Structure 1
Amino acid sequence: MRDLKIFLAASAAAVGVAGALVAPAHAQETTSTIRGNVTSNGQPVAGAQVKVTHVPTGTVSNAVTDSSGGFTAAGLRVGGPYTVEVIASGYTTSTVTDIQTAVGQTFALPVELAQEGEAIVVTASLVRGAGNISAGPANVMTAEEISKIASVNRDIRDIAARDPFATLDTSQTTGRQVSFAGQNPRFNRFTVDGVPITDSFGLNPDALPSRRGPVPLDSIGQFETKVAPYDIREGFFQGGVSNAILKSGTNEFHGTAFYTFSSDELTGKKTKSYILNPTGRIVQPNFTSKDFGAEISGPIIKDKLFFMIAAERVRAARPVAFGTQEDNAGTPVIGARDADLERITQIAQDRYGYDPGGILRSDGDKDDRVVAKIDANLSDTQRVSLTGLYTKDELNVSTTTGTRDLGLESNAYRKPNKMKAGIVNWNADWTDRFSTEARALYKTYDSGQFPLMGRSAQMSICAAPASDRNTGGAVTTNVSTVCPTGTPQFVLGAGGRASPTSLKSAPGVVRSRPS
């Protein structure tokens, strides 16, 4: 008889400006399973008592082997270490230690009992045939492995990019993005503790609701990526799915902290000369970049109630590379001169009363992320967790970029994201073969595009020294509509969309369904 596991998933769907839309969630696994067979001299041992203990929290799951010697402990916390103790009448007690489980996977554990002698204790790595079994191609990284990844940006995409099917694209001006198996990055799905935490409106480069991901890297216990899962519960994506399982508190206090700093004083100002920069000197505007955060976890009530809190703040405003030949941060627009910019700005202000702004100096990168989690062992068979998420970020983006076009401040827009979410996860084991898991999500998400210098039409000013239009004001048919080849353009106004756009995703009705 196969083990029966009922899964209940609940999710609040996005409510846009046009009206409310409610949909059931496509859920990810958040737990692990230990499944084993108990034998003696090749024969199954029925009726053996199996005790599975999560050592860091003291959480215990009990099972009894069936007629074939099989047992299953489902709905377990991911990670470990676990200890499995097998007791059967007429046999010596056998204990397997240091079992490490992976999210969404089953740890296969064969146990051999001896009929006489002292109790046997062995580590899982020495048991032949023991190990995690994945249902489909998956890549799972533990907290220790994540801590060893070099991520200058503290971006969760650096973790997802470790998947063999993933490609990290850093060429987009709107931000970094990850593509799985060659699919459009917006077709990905991102989940936290099994529920979707994604970009509700499709304004970001990929499925993430913020620039670097909604949770600090130090808060992640395991990170899973998949492209073709077999599980019927996993859907609603065409590229890949990333699932971040947050850390939980244990019976011991743990904590981490970090601080990084950079500035123009630590950045080189000279390179080898090249066509666009014959002097090799780079003008670095003044800037500072700071990134700091901390994570702490531990017990509130030993063996019963645990907490984890993590926060991270980024103030990493970086210079925008594009500028005139005389004033740039690494990428001069060919032919663009300070004198032309000054003249265009003066005419716009004096004749039309319009301020086009100057060169966009900084991307204004800001990012705040906070997560808190409470785990409670209600009993040996009941466990519940409450998770709260908060993220807020902002970036200045130039609408026009290129080696022949220089977009001014009025041609740029501010791109903010703000998200609040609450997750409830309840796990229960009713019998050895029947367990349930229920989740609920509450989420609000605000995003938009706001011109840096107010609403206006977009104008392209050609910097050609002479015009082919006549001076009498008559409209002719033999005039150019584009700049001559090799002549730069200065682009004013229409930062982002033609008008400010703000989109809000409000909490909707929660639905659940079995799968």
Structure 2
Amino acid sequence: MRSKTFTHYQVGILFLFLFFGFKTQTYSQATNASISGQVKDENGEPLIGAALLIKNELTGFTASAITNLTGNYTVNQLPLANDYSVTCTYMGYGTKVFTGYAVSQGDRIKLDIVLSEEAQSLSEVSVVANSLSNSIDRFGSSTAVTAKDMATLPVNGRNFNSLVDLSPVSNGSNLLGQLYSSTNYTIDGMTNRSPLSSGSTNRGPFSISMEAIREFEVSTNDYDVTNGRSGGGIISAVTKTGTNTVHGSAFLFNRADWLSSKYDTRGNVREDEFAIQQYGFTLGGPIIKDKLHFFLAYDGQRDARPLYIADIRTPEDENRYNLSQESLDRYLQIARNEYGVAESPQTGSFDKKRYSHTAFARIDYQINKSNLLTIRNNFSRDLNSQGVSDNSSINLYEVYGDHLSTANSLMASLRTEISNKLTNELKLQYLYTLDDGSPNAQLPSSNIPRAIVQRVESEVDGRNVNTTIQLGGQRYLPERFESNVYQLVNNL
């Protein structure tokens, strides 16, 4: 099955908004921030035509503005960073430099400036920010999770979505009591939502490396029309960028099989591997200082754990499964003689492995003082062997199938400073997703018979009990869903 969400009509509407002067400030769809304020003299009179230079000290990115007739200025679509400086100059007046400002997702920072005449202030005045109160206008409530939070808080499985529980309205991926399918996922302001499940694009343990996330935000009660696909709320993440300093990291976690108990939770001797390895790295830095930067991140995981199917070894196991070994043997004999079930083991303990990978790359290019180009790509792949079963009480081994989940999103963003009062940001993304479920190798690829035997009776501890056992195929496999999603967003 293929799906495509993009029409010439939609593109036409977007370009009409762009070229016929429909001016909006859409902060919910854009992940960037803004700095605004008023410049006055010591008497409280607005200074008209004062020049402001906003600079990201980590990358060299700059943006400028000129105050209007009321002394006000606004700089929109600022890339997120932890070290911005604001320099204000006006002819005949001293220069003020504000440093150390952190700009996070959705922030609308208000910075009012008072300049002194040069006769009273002959040198540049520097102000270091030690406590900045961000004034943020939002339609709904939100919870921000920073890179520091992700680095210091324990996260099982290396999925940043686990930290969504920091929001008081969250229950996992369910927000405000809504279904998880009512939660919208965005990365860098563009959709990361699966057309199939309406959740995150990858069914694996993670869809993007935690090492690639700068910060994310959980927003609810948002009535902005641009967030119409989020009945419950929005999980909006922003990715990291390279800086003028070469930096990197590497990690490895190994829960080796020999470190695990020899016995399973029932006290039986464990026969199959029980281990998990998580590994990855990041690397970022300048290609051309103050102009061209890169950032790379990789995250991998190997998860091996036993798959137990009616693994009867003790009388306690017979009670647990409501099935005696004698009845199970009789069932398997009939299944093999009458229905062609393979002679290989269909119950017991089986080796099961899952491999997950994500790779992220981003380039930021300051083409000139007016244009910033960003290109980023995120790829994820998850192969879950014997990861799909049916809903019968007991499914034979041949019922279990494999599931492959792949997603790739390629985004290009161009921020253009049209004038000192007008900024435009154009984003284009292509999102590809594939969910491919295949039946067990013991079964034919198509026209697979499926049989559910109900009330398989046994005598266990003097009691007459029964259960349901399934053989053959299942309701979920084979299944293949492939989608191509094109998205165009313009913030003027």
Q: Which amino acid counterpart does residue 303 of structure 2 have in structure 1? A: A
Pair 1:332–1:197, CA change in 2 (3 A): farther
Cα displacement string for residues 242-298 of structure 1 (whole angstroms, at most 9, x for unaligned residues): 122111111111111111111443334679xxxxx8xx6254332221110111111
Aligned length: 458
Pair 1:20–1:199, CA change in 2 (3 A): closer
Distance 1:331 1:373 in 2: 55
Please state if 1:490 is matched with 2:469.
yes
Q: Which amino acid counterpart does residue 131 of structure 1 have in structure 2? A: N
Pair 1:337–1:38, CA change in 2 (3 A): farther
1:369 Cα deviation after fit: 0.6
Cα displacement string for residues 187-226 of structure 1 (whole angstroms, at most 9, x for unaligned residues): 2111121111221212x7x343332332100011121221
Distance 2:235 2:399 in 1: 35
Please state if 1:154 is matched with 2:139.
no
Q: Which amino acid counterpart does residue 241 of structure 2 have in structure 1? A: S
Cα displacement string for residues 278-333 of structure 1 (whole angstroms, at most 9, x for unaligned residues): xx625433222111011111111111111111111111133346643428999983
1:74 Cα deviation after fit: 1.2
Structure 1: gaps spanning 5 or more residues = 1-15, 169-177, 272-276, 467-483
Task: Describe the SS at the equivalent of 1:43.
Answer: coil
Pair 1:305–1:90, CA change in 2 (3 A): same
Please state if 1:305 is matched with 2:283.
no
Distance 2:319 2:34 in 1: 57
| Structure 2 partner of 1:226 | 219
Distance 2:191 2:5 in 1: 15
Q: Is the 8 A contact 1:299 1:306 kept in 2?
A: yes
1:49 Cα deviation after fit: 1.5
109, 117, 124: which one pairs with 2:129? 124
1:339 Cα deviation after fit: 4.3
Cα displacement string for residues 46-78 of structure 1 (whole angstroms, at most 9, x for unaligned residues): 322211110001111111122322211112111
506, 509, 512: which one pairs with 2:484? 506
Pair 1:267–1:336, CA change in 2 (3 A): farther
| Structure 2 partner of 1:343 | 330
Q: TM-score, normalised by structure 1?
A: 0.80
Deviates more, 1:179-188 or 1:443-452: 443-452
| Structure 2 partner of 1:393 | 382
1:376 Cα deviation after fit: 0.3
Task: Describe the SS at the equivalent of 1:361.
Answer: strand
Q: Which amino acid counterpart does residue 120 of structure 1 have in structure 2? A: V
154, 165, 186: which one pairs with 1:191? 186
1:387 Cα deviation after fit: 1.0
67, 75, 84: which one pairs with 1:82? 84
Task: Describe the SS at the equivalent of 1:365.
Answer: strand
Task: Describe the SS at the equivalent of 1:387.
Answer: strand
Pair 1:416–1:332, CA change in 2 (3 A): farther
Task: Describe the SS at the equivalent of 1:438.
Answer: strand
Distance 1:371 1:164 in 2: 30
Task: Describe the SS at the equivalent of 2:457.
Answer: coil
Please state if 1:287 is matched with 2:280.
no
Q: Is the 8 A contact 1:320 1:329 kept in 2?
A: no
Identity of aligned residues (%): 21
1:157 Cα deviation after fit: 1.7
Q: Is the 8 A contact 1:450 1:496 kept in 2?
A: no
Distance 2:248 2:80 in 1: 19
Please state if 1:209 is matched with 2:202.
yes
Please state if 1:96 is matched with 2:85.
no
Q: Which amino acid counterpart does residue 410 of structure 1 have in structure 2? A: E
Q: Which amino acid counterpart does residue 34 of structure 1 have in structure 2? A: I
Q: Is the 8 A contact 2:388 2:403 kept in 1?
A: no
Distance 1:329 1:200 in 2: 44
| Structure 1 partner of 2:370 | 381
| Structure 2 partner of 1:43 | 45
Distance 1:241 1:32 in 2: 17
Pair 1:329–1:500, CA change in 2 (3 A): farther
| Structure 2 partner of 1:253 | 246
Cα displacement string for residues 379-402 of structure 1 (whole angstroms, at most 9, x for unaligned residues): 111111111121110223353468
| Structure 2 partner of 1:172 | none
Please state if 1:458 is matched with 2:451.
yes
Q: Is the 8 A contact 2:424 2:490 kept in 1?
A: no
Larger % of strand: which? 2
Task: Describe the SS at the equivalent of 2:331.
Answer: helix
Pair 1:71–1:291, CA change in 2 (3 A): same
Distance 1:417 1:246 in 2: 22
Deviates more, 1:224-233 or 1:239-248: 224-233
Pair 1:331–1:354, CA change in 2 (3 A): closer
Task: Describe the SS at the equivalent of 1:158.
Answer: helix
Structure 2: gaps spanning 5 or more residues = 12-25
| Structure 2 partner of 1:34 | 35
Pair 1:397–1:54, CA change in 2 (3 A): same
Larger % of helix: which? 2
Q: Is the 8 A contact 1:413 1:496 kept in 2?
A: no
Distance 2:278 2:380 in 1: 15
1:433 Cα deviation after fit: 2.1
Distance 2:46 2:484 in 1: 55
Please state if 1:420 is matched with 2:408.
yes
Cα displacement string for residues 157-208 of structure 1 (whole angstroms, at most 9, x for unaligned residues): 213332222112xxxxxxxxx1011111012111121111221212x7x343
Pair 1:187–1:423, CA change in 2 (3 A): same
1:343 Cα deviation after fit: 3.5
Cα displacement string for residues 445-489 of structure 1 (whole angstroms, at most 9, x for unaligned residues): 1113322243331322544248xxxxxxxxxxxxxxxxx974233
409, 422, 425: which one pairs with 2:397? 409
Q: Is the 8 A contact 1:323 1:332 kept in 2?
A: no
Distance 2:428 2:330 in 1: 59
Question: What is the CA RMSD across the aligned residues, in angstroms?
Answer: 3.0
Pair 1:400–1:505, CA change in 2 (3 A): closer
